[in-house]
Amino acid sequence: MPTVFTLRVNGTARSVRVEPATPLLYVLRNDLKLSGAKFGCGQSQCGACSVLIDGMERRSCVYPVGAVGKGTITTIEGLGTPQRPSALQRAFILEQACQCGYCSNGMIMAAQALLARNPKPSESEVKRALEGHLCRCGAHNRIVRAVLRASKGALP
Protein backbone atom coordinates (compact mmCIF):
# COMPACT_ATOMS: atom_id res chain seq x y z
CA MET A 1 0.00 0.00 0.00
CA PRO A 2 1.61 3.32 -1.02
CA THR A 3 2.38 5.32 2.09
CA VAL A 4 3.57 8.86 2.68
CA PHE A 5 7.06 9.06 4.13
CA THR A 6 8.75 12.25 5.24
CA LEU A 7 12.45 11.75 4.79
CA ARG A 8 15.17 13.93 6.18
CA VAL A 9 17.63 14.19 3.32
CA ASN A 10 20.65 16.47 3.32
CA GLY A 11 19.08 18.68 5.97
CA THR A 12 15.70 19.04 4.27
CA ALA A 13 12.42 17.26 4.90
CA ARG A 14 11.12 15.64 1.72
CA SER A 15 7.81 13.79 1.42
CA VAL A 16 7.18 10.93 -0.95
CA ARG A 17 4.28 8.54 -1.41
CA VAL A 18 5.58 5.07 -2.24
CA GLU A 19 5.37 1.42 -1.23
CA PRO A 20 7.23 0.93 2.07
CA ALA A 21 9.33 -1.85 0.54
CA THR A 22 10.67 0.44 -2.19
CA PRO A 23 14.45 0.50 -1.99
CA LEU A 24 15.62 3.93 -0.89
CA LEU A 25 17.82 4.14 -4.01
CA TYR A 26 14.84 4.56 -6.35
CA VAL A 27 13.18 7.11 -4.10
CA LEU A 28 16.35 9.18 -4.04
CA ARG A 29 17.04 8.92 -7.75
CA ASN A 30 13.54 9.06 -9.18
CA ASP A 31 11.39 10.95 -6.69
CA LEU A 32 13.91 13.28 -5.12
CA LYS A 33 16.08 13.72 -8.25
CA LEU A 34 19.22 12.94 -6.28
CA SER A 35 21.09 10.83 -8.82
CA GLY A 36 24.43 10.70 -7.03
CA ALA A 37 23.78 7.24 -5.58
CA LYS A 38 24.08 4.71 -8.41
CA PHE A 39 22.44 1.42 -9.24
CA GLY A 40 25.20 -1.15 -9.57
CA CYS A 41 23.95 -4.54 -8.49
CA GLY A 42 20.77 -4.21 -6.43
CA GLN A 43 22.21 -6.87 -4.13
CA SER A 44 24.38 -4.89 -1.71
CA GLN A 45 27.50 -6.33 -3.34
CA CYS A 46 29.23 -3.43 -5.06
CA GLY A 47 28.61 -0.30 -2.97
CA ALA A 48 27.78 2.13 -5.80
CA CYS A 49 24.46 3.02 -4.14
CA SER A 50 25.86 3.92 -0.72
CA VAL A 51 24.36 6.72 1.36
CA LEU A 52 24.71 7.62 5.02
CA ILE A 53 21.84 7.09 7.42
CA ASP A 54 22.62 8.66 10.79
CA GLY A 55 26.25 8.71 9.70
CA MET A 56 26.41 4.98 8.96
CA GLU A 57 27.10 3.77 5.45
CA ARG A 58 24.06 1.99 4.06
CA ARG A 59 23.41 0.26 0.76
CA SER A 60 20.36 2.11 -0.54
CA CYS A 61 19.65 -0.51 -3.22
CA VAL A 62 18.40 -2.92 -0.55
CA TYR A 63 17.35 -0.47 2.16
CA PRO A 64 13.55 -0.18 2.23
CA VAL A 65 12.31 3.36 2.44
CA GLY A 66 9.95 2.20 5.17
CA ALA A 67 12.91 1.33 7.39
CA VAL A 68 14.45 4.79 7.34
CA GLY A 69 12.07 6.19 9.94
CA LYS A 70 13.44 9.32 11.52
CA GLY A 71 16.92 8.52 10.27
CA THR A 72 18.91 11.37 8.80
CA ILE A 73 19.94 10.62 5.23
CA THR A 74 23.07 12.13 3.70
CA THR A 75 23.74 11.66 0.02
CA ILE A 76 26.77 12.77 -1.96
CA GLU A 77 24.83 15.87 -3.01
CA GLY A 78 24.74 16.80 0.65
CA LEU A 79 28.52 16.99 0.88
CA GLY A 80 29.22 19.66 -1.72
CA THR A 81 28.60 20.88 -5.24
CA PRO A 82 30.82 21.03 -8.34
CA GLN A 83 31.35 24.71 -7.54
CA ARG A 84 31.79 24.19 -3.78
CA PRO A 85 33.03 20.64 -3.23
CA SER A 86 33.68 19.41 0.30
CA ALA A 87 37.25 18.83 1.44
CA LEU A 88 36.87 15.13 0.72
CA GLN A 89 35.42 15.74 -2.73
CA ARG A 90 38.20 18.23 -3.41
CA ALA A 91 40.79 15.64 -2.46
CA PHE A 92 39.21 13.21 -4.94
CA ILE A 93 39.34 15.90 -7.64
CA LEU A 94 42.97 16.74 -6.88
CA GLU A 95 43.97 13.10 -7.10
CA GLN A 96 41.87 12.67 -10.28
CA ALA A 97 40.69 9.60 -8.43
CA CYS A 98 38.56 7.85 -11.00
CA GLN A 99 38.19 6.85 -14.58
CA CYS A 100 34.52 6.27 -15.22
CA GLY A 101 33.53 7.51 -11.77
CA TYR A 102 30.52 5.25 -11.46
CA CYS A 103 31.77 3.75 -8.20
CA SER A 104 32.93 7.14 -6.85
CA ASN A 105 29.71 7.82 -4.98
CA GLY A 106 30.18 4.74 -2.86
CA MET A 107 33.87 5.39 -2.34
CA ILE A 108 33.26 8.95 -1.19
CA MET A 109 30.35 8.06 1.08
CA ALA A 110 32.30 5.20 2.68
CA ALA A 111 35.27 7.53 3.16
CA GLN A 112 33.00 10.18 4.64
CA ALA A 113 31.75 7.66 7.21
CA LEU A 114 35.28 6.49 7.91
CA LEU A 115 36.70 9.98 8.44
CA ALA A 116 33.82 10.86 10.74
CA ARG A 117 34.69 8.01 13.09
CA ASN A 118 38.45 7.98 12.45
CA PRO A 119 39.77 11.32 11.20
CA LYS A 120 43.36 10.08 10.79
CA PRO A 121 43.10 6.59 9.33
CA SER A 122 46.14 4.64 8.21
CA GLU A 123 46.40 3.43 4.63
CA SER A 124 45.34 -0.05 5.66
CA GLU A 125 42.37 1.34 7.58
CA VAL A 126 41.28 3.21 4.45
CA LYS A 127 41.57 0.06 2.39
CA ARG A 128 39.63 -1.92 4.94
CA ALA A 129 36.84 0.68 4.98
CA LEU A 130 36.61 0.49 1.18
CA GLU A 131 37.03 -3.28 0.88
CA GLY A 132 33.32 -3.81 0.23
CA HIS A 133 33.33 -1.36 -2.66
CA LEU A 134 34.13 -2.51 -6.17
CA CYS A 135 36.01 -0.44 -8.74
CA ARG A 136 36.46 -1.86 -12.21
CA CYS A 137 38.65 0.80 -13.80
CA GLY A 138 41.50 0.24 -11.36
CA ALA A 139 41.46 3.65 -9.68
CA HIS A 140 41.96 2.05 -6.23
CA ASN A 141 45.32 3.60 -5.43
CA ARG A 142 44.18 7.08 -6.39
CA ILE A 143 41.08 6.64 -4.26
CA VAL A 144 43.14 5.63 -1.23
CA ARG A 145 45.46 8.58 -1.79
CA ALA A 146 42.46 10.92 -2.01
CA VAL A 147 41.07 9.73 1.31
CA LEU A 148 44.47 10.03 2.98
CA ARG A 149 44.94 13.49 1.49
CA ALA A 150 41.59 14.60 2.87
CA SER A 151 42.44 13.13 6.27
CA LYS A 152 45.69 15.06 6.37
CA GLY A 153 43.98 18.27 5.36
CA ALA A 154 46.57 18.44 2.61
CA LEU A 155 44.41 20.64 0.44
CA PRO A 156 45.32 23.90 -1.22
Partner 1 sequence: MTAALRNVSRRNVLKAGAGLVVGIAFAPLLAPAQGSETPLHLPGSLNGNRLLSAWLRVNSNGTVTVFTGKVELGQGIASALAQIAADELDVGYRRINMVTADTSLTPDEGFTAGSQSIEQSGTALRFACAEARQMLLAAAAARLGGQSGDLRVADGTISAPGGKHTTYWAVTTDAMLRREATAKARPKAAGEHTLIGQNLARRDIPPKFTGGAAYVQDLRLPGMVHARVGRPPVPRADLVSLDTAALKAMPGVIEVVRDGSFVAVVCEREEQAINALVALRELAVWSRPELPPTLIDTFDRPEPELQTQNSVVYEKTAPDAPIAVRQIEARYTRAFQLHASIGPSCAVAHDLDGKLTVWTHSQGVFALRSDIARALGMSPASVVCIHMEGAGCYGHNGADDAAFDAALLARAIPGRPVRVQWMRDDEFMWEPYGSAMSMKVGAGLGADGNIVDWRHELWSYPHARRPGGREGVNLLAAWYLAAPLQPAFPVDVPQPNGGSDRNAIPLYDFPNQKILKHYMPDAPLRTSSLRTLGAYANVFAIESLMDETCAAAGADPVEFRLRHLRDERARTVIESAARQSGWRPGALGDGGRGTGSTFRGRGIGFARYKNHACYCAVVAEVEVDRISGIVRVTRAWSAVDAGLAINPDGIANQIEGGMIQSASWTLKEALKVDRSGVHTKSWIDYPILRFSEVPAVEVEVIQRPTEDSLGVGEGAQGPTGAAIANAFAAATGRRLRDIPFLPERVKAALAPL
Binding site for partner 1 (CB under 8 A): 18-19, 21-23, 26, 29-30, 33-43, 45-46, 48, 75-77, 79-82, 85, 89, 92-93, 96, 98-105, 108, 127-128, 130-131, 133-142, 144
Sign of CA dihedral 65, 67, 68, 69: positive
Phi/psi of residue 4, nearest 5 degrees? -85, 125
**Residues near 125 by beta carbon (within 8 Å), at least 6 away in sequence:** 114, 118
The CB-of-155 to partner 1 minimum distance in angstroms stands at 14
Cα three-residue angle 116-85-56, rounded to 5 degrees: 25
In terms of CB distance, is 75 or 151 closer to partner 1?
75
In terms of CB distance, is 72 or 93 closer to partner 1?
93
The CB-of-107 to partner 1 minimum distance in angstroms stands at 9
